[in-house]
Amino acid sequence: MRASLIQIAVDGDEPVDARRARAASLVAEQRDADLVVLPELWPVGAFAYESFAPEAEELSGPTHAAMSKAAADAGVWLHAGSIVERAPDGRLYNTSLVFSPSGDLAATYRKIHRFGFDKGEAVLMAAGDDLVTVPVPGLPLGLATCYDLRFPELFRGLVDAGALAFAIPAGWPARRGAHWTLLARARAVENQAYVLACGTAGTHAGIAQAGHSLVVDPWGEVLAEAGEAEEVLTVDLDPARVTTTRDQFPALKDRVLGTSGC
């Protein structure tokens, strides 16, 4: 199984429509991949809070249309990163869209842990409350978004739901780049699962992005890591590696339920 992570640059001076068209053509080029992953809120920028409401879309909006076509053109499973979703009740969500190779919307995930404490996403958006896995053949994917990476209990829940890999789109700032790589490896090691962590490059709303998208195997080894600039990271995954890791070092079986509060 080949995965491509598209670490697209999200710069404030590029119009959203132009970036959407650019992302669609980058996805459509990934015909050799089985699975393609884009970052969090790449149309608008994860820290461009003032643009959230004006650029919010319905689930069936312009990003859905462009990504559905791109997935079908390339014939890939596409985790299209996330959009600012305007729900029918008017609330905004940070919502990930996953498309099948025929371009059908296979899953959505509304980010559970919102970033910003008492401002930004945490006050502008509503929180999701559903764990989501996607039955990608051979490699069931658990979904999480950016700040979710700091909450290990979410990932345990995804493992219990059958995930062998986690897809984590992000808009992670450069100033906490060390946390990004450390936490991505930790989630892989403790859950004995692949981590596909796709961030953004560029600078928007004055926040330089970390880049450094990475793919980590179930033993915690970094298989590939991007630099700071826009880049497509391609890596071959072996789903059997998850089961052999879990069989040969069966730490997940030693969990003592009830001690973690979940």
Active centre residues (catalytic): 40, 111, 146
If the CB atoms of residues 72 and 92 are measured against ligand LYUYDEPV, the closer one turns out to be: 92
If the CB atoms of residues 148 and 217 are measured against ligand LYUYDEPV, the closer one turns out to be: 148
Distance, in Å, from the CA atom of 186 to the CA atom of 178, rounded to the nearest integer, reads: 12
Find the shortest distance in angstroms from Cβ 145 to ligand LYUYDEPV: 7
If the CB atoms of residues 109 and 172 are measured against ligand LYUYDEPV, the closer one turns out to be: 172
If the CB atoms of residues 33 and 188 are measured against ligand LYUYDEPV, the closer one turns out to be: 188
Token pair 């001076």 in the structure block, residue: 13
Amino acid at residue number 187: R
Distance, in Å, from the CA atom of 224 to the CA atom of 135, rounded to the nearest integer, reads: 24
Find the shortest distance in angstroms from Cβ 25 to ligand LYUYDEPV: 25
If the CB atoms of residues 150 and 255 are measured against ligand LYUYDEPV, the closer one turns out to be: 150
Interface residues toward ligand LYUYDEPV, by CB under 6 A? 40, 46, 115, 146-147, 150, 171-173, 176, 179
Least Cα distance to 34 among 1, 81, 10 occurs for 1
Find the shortest distance in angstroms from Cβ 118 to ligand LYUYDEPV: 15
